[in-house]
Amino acid sequence: MAVYTHPRTGLPGCLLVEEIANDLMTDVGGAFYTIRAVLPAMLARRAGTILLSGGGLAVDPSPLYLTLSVGKAGLRALARALSKDPVLADIHVAHALLHTTITPETGREIAEEFWTLANEAPEA
């Protein structure tokens, strides 16, 4: 499943709190709800992979793309926190940081990296 937030531009003083909350709910809330939906089956099987992706704004935020920056940082935090949860020890949870523009040329490279990441052991 993919959740995409349209980048909302605007400097912090021009944004409404509701806009930030809505975008955060789309990014982090959407990922969280999706994970909650698949987690029971993964825990029952004692296996599974959860891959979250985000852009470079997760670690290098932009005031012009504030809501997107907050959302990407939230996804990174969600993945890192879940990867440390002992209850999920058999589940591989990872965050892929995509700090590039996605084009047909980079798409194949990104897909190969995701495949490698998906096949890592949970403790990797």
Read off the pLDDT of residues 20-42 as tens digits, 9 standing for 90 and up: 898 899 989 999 999 999 999 99
Sign of CA dihedral 59, 61, 67, 70: positive
Half-sphere exposure of 90 (CA within 13 A, CB side): 10
Domain limits for position 108: 13-118
Residue 59 amino acid letter: V
Backbone angles phi, psi at 13, to 5 degrees: -70, -15
Answer whether residue 2 is part of any domain: no
Answer whether residue 4 is part of any domain: no
Q: How far apart are CA 11 and CA 64, in angstroms?
A: 5
Answer whether residue 107 is part of any domain: yes
pTM for this prediction? 0.85
Answer whether residue 81 is part of any domain: yes
pLDDT at site 5: 61
Q: Tell me, what CATH number does 61's domain have?
A: 3.40.50.720
* Residues with pLDDT less than 50, the chain: none
What's the chain's average pLDDT? 88
The count of domains in the chain is 1
Answer whether residue 123 is part of any domain: no
Q: How far apart are CA 20 and CA 86, in angstroms?
A: 31
pLDDT, tens digit, 9 for 90 and up, residues 107-117: 888 888 889 98
